[in-house]
Homo-oligomer: A and B are copies of this chain.
């Protein structure tokens, strides 16, 4: 069975990241023909246009991993009512040089978890603005503003019963969205 490759981009670098935990739990809800792999963004330099002509190995790696993927999956925290600088820095790198963006045309899903009940909603809106410019077709509904509260996971770190139906429906919609844009 041919695999559909999804590049997973988690916007938080901390070890116990809520979004990294969500990414790992959500992965188990995907069908067998989807292959998810995490893209590393923690070792990128700060973007400087002067380096466009001689990108670092980390930037070249990032762009080749994005280009090799058939779909994108963004897990974003909300920092100061927007996406983390860390995530935007990765997006900026892979969008450059002008006319050579790695993001172009790859279908995406946007999701995020936080301890607050708005569940990164405002960060996701900024991310959608950015992805629209980058010509990344992004799943509209269902939206997924995940409140990281008790019961979200079971004792094994899998999605708990209370959220399973919704999150499975989200994954199913994302899977269809990616297939539509293959």
A interface vs B, CB < 8 Å?
A: 12-15, 41-42, 44, 46-50, 79-92, 95, 122, 126, 129-130, 132-134
Contact = CB atoms under 8 A, between A and B. Distances in A.
Nearest to A132: B81
Given A88-B88, A89-B86, A89-B89, A81 B46 contact: no
A32 B80 CA distance: 34
B85 A46 contact: yes
B80 A95 contact: yes
Contact of A80 (B13, B44, B133): B133
B15 A82 contact: no
A122 B126 contact: no
A92 B3 CA distance: 37
B47 A86 contact: yes
Contacts of A83: 88
Contact of A85 (B12, B15, B42, B92): B92
B81 A133 contact: yes
